[in-house]
Every structure is written in structure tokens, then in C-alpha cells.
């Protein structure tokens, strides 16, 4: 560990819509940390490499069908399979930079609707399986309008990459962010910051570094929090 005293490393999550530039920025952040001599590990959800991750991957690419409840629980299980690893890394002084987390889990599943437009899964039900996961110290929510995201070269071929879906997802992300702000303590001490991801790549990168650098340099006191407990 490169941290002073008994401090642990921070858990940083980057969330956002598809095409928000999130993945590019997450890996840039990871390389910049490493270049600056800071221990950091890059994690990405869904982690498509595990057995559960392979099921998620084939669902997303529509090569398999799954009940909406079942796929939701698989996404959550895919995070739980890494929970202990994440906690150990943080305690050992390695910062964890994570591309998507439980907030995507809720926002995407809660945005699914039937043919009449009625929600398929209640919000609370979507949140429950992720209660108690390691809580991030900082969430950077990459906010972008679905129109702007589309202008960036269109959505891909995967499930959920449709504009109406993205619009609902964005609203759920915002709602989750507002609730996190209101209950910062009970939510495990997570700080939620919205980043205007519609700007130039360099501007976004500058803001991200400005928020992350002080946190990784100072380290964090106390144990890793638990989400929504
Ligand atoms: P990716 O493009 O970042 O690999 O994510 C794949 C899709 O899965 C993306 O549309 C967001 C969605 N997703 C969920 O529905 N639930 C989850 O828990 C996560 C992590 C992602």
C-alpha cells in the first residue's frame, strides 16, 4: 500500500448510460492512477468472464432468453462473487475503480416495462439483492441526454440499447442519486456526484481526476461500508 497509517484505499464507481463515455474514462482513470504510482485495480460489471457472467453475456447478446427476475438476480450475484475480493483489495490499500455497479443493476431492471408500459419489476425488489454489498466511497454518475448519446454514433446491438429504455434508465439513476444524497450515512457513506458527460473528453477527464486524486492520496478512515444498510 502507498497510503499513510491505517487508512484503506477508496472504492470508486463510475455509472452512466450506454454511450456516456464511461468505459473510456474508467480505463483512463485507472492508467493515470497507475502512472502516478497509486495501487489501483480496474473492475467492470457485468464481469462477463465468470460462469454467471457468461450467462449474462449470452442474455445481453440475445442468444438466450431468461425470466426478468432471473437475469436481475444473476447481475446481482455477479457482483456478490467479487464482493470479498473488492473488500480485501481496499483493506490492502489498493484502490478499486469500477465500471458500473449496483446502481446500473437497479436502474436497468426497474426500467423494464411490459407491452402496456407498466413496470415489470418493482424498484424495491430490484434494490434488495444488492443491499449489503461493499459501498463505494464515491460514485461518479456520467449524465448525458439519450439524444446526445445517440449522436455519438448510435446505440449498439445489445438488449437495452434503445432510446426509450435509456430515457427511463436515466430517470432511475437520478432518483437513486437523490436518495443517496439524502441518506449518505445510512447508505454506507457513499458520495454521489453527477458529471456532465456531454462535454469534451478532456474536460470530463479533468473533472474526474480532480475528484478522485485527493481521495486516493489521502485514503479513507474506517471499514468498508455496506450499501443501503
Ligand atoms: P456494459 O455495456 O457496461 O457491459 O453493460 C451491459 C448492459 O447491462 C448495459 O446495458 C447495462 C446492463 N446492466 C444491467 O442491466 N444490470 C446490471 O447490474 C449491470 C451491471 C449492467
Q: Assess whether pLDDT exceeds 50 at residue 20.
A: yes
Rounded average pLDDT over 85-93: 98
Percent of the chain with pLDDT over 90: 84
More confident residue, 80 or 150: 80
More confident residue, 159 or 182: 159
Ligand 1: which of 44, 104, 106 to mutate, judged by most atoms within 8 Å of the beta carbon? 104
Q: How far is the CA of 104 from the centre of ligand 1 (A)?
A: 6
Q: How far is the CA of 46 from the centre of ligand 1 (A)?
A: 6
Q: How far is the CA of 71 from the centre of ligand 1 (A)?
A: 11
pLDDT tens track for 126-145: 999 999 999 999 999 999 99
In this prediction, residue 103 carries a pLDDT of 98
Is 11 touching ligand 1 by the criterion CB < 6 Å?
A: no
pLDDT tens track for 174-220: 999 999 877 654 456 899 999 999 999 999 999 999 999 999 999 99
In this prediction, residue 147 carries a pLDDT of 85
pLDDT, averaged across the chain: 94
In this prediction, residue 184 carries a pLDDT of 57
The ligand 1 atom nearest the CA atom of 159: 10
Q: Assess whether pLDDT exceeds 60 at residue 10.
A: yes
3-state DSSP of the chain: CCCCCCCECCEEEEEECCCCCHHHHHHHHHHHHHHCCCCEEEEECCCCCCHHHHHHHHHHCCCCCCCHHHHHHHHHHHHHHHHHHHHHHHHCCCEEEEECCHHHHHHHHHCCECCCCCECCCHHHHHHHHCCCECCCEEEEEECCHHHHHHCCCCCCCCCCCHHHHHHHHHHHHHHHHHHHHCCCCCCCCEEEEEECCCCHHHHHHHHHHHHHHHHHHCECCCCCECCC
Q: How far is the CA of 34 from the centre of ligand 1 (A)?
A: 26
Is 105 touching ligand 1 by the criterion CB < 6 Å?
A: yes
Amino acid at each position: 500500500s502507498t497510503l499513510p497509517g491505517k487508512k484503506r484505499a477508496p472504492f470508486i464507481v463510475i455509472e452512466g448510460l450506454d454511450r456516456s463515455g464511461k468505459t473510456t474514462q474508467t480505463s483512463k482513470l485507472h492508467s493515470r492512477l497507475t502512472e502516478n504510482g497509486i495501487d489501483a485495480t480496474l473492475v467492470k460489471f457485468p464481469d462477463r468472464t465468470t460462469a454467471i457472467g457468461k450467462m449474462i453475456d449470452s442474455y445481453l447478446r440475445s442468444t438466450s432468453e431468461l425470466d426478468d427476475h432471473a437475469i436481475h438476480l444473476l447481475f446481482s450475484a455477479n457482483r456478490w462473487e467479487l464482493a470479498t475480493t473488492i473488500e480485501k483489495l481496499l483493506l490492502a490499500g489498493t484502490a478499486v475503480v469500477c465500471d458500473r455497479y449496483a446502481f446500473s443493476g437497479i436502474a436497468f431492471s426497474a426500467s423494464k416495462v411490459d407491452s402496456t408500459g407498466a413496470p415489470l419489476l418493482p424498484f424495491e425488489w430490484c434494490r434488495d439483492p444488492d443491499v449489503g454489498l461493499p459501498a463505494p466511497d464515491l460514485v461518479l454518475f456520467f449524465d448525458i441526454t439519450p439524444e446526445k448519446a445517440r449522436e455519438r454514433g448510435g446505440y449498439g446491438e445489445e438488449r437495452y440499447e434503445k432510446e426509450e429504455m435509456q430515457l427511463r434508465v436515466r430517470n432511475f439513476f437520478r432518483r437513486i442519486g437523490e436518495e443517496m444524497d439524502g441518506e449518505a450515512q445510512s447508505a454506507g457513506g457513499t458520495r454521489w456526484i453527477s458529471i456532465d458527460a456531454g462535454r469534451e473528453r478532456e474536460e470530463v477527464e479533468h473533472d474526474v481526476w480532480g475528484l478522485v486524486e485527493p481521495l486516493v492520496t489521502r485514503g479513507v478512515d474506517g471499514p468498508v461500508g455496506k450499501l443501503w444498510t
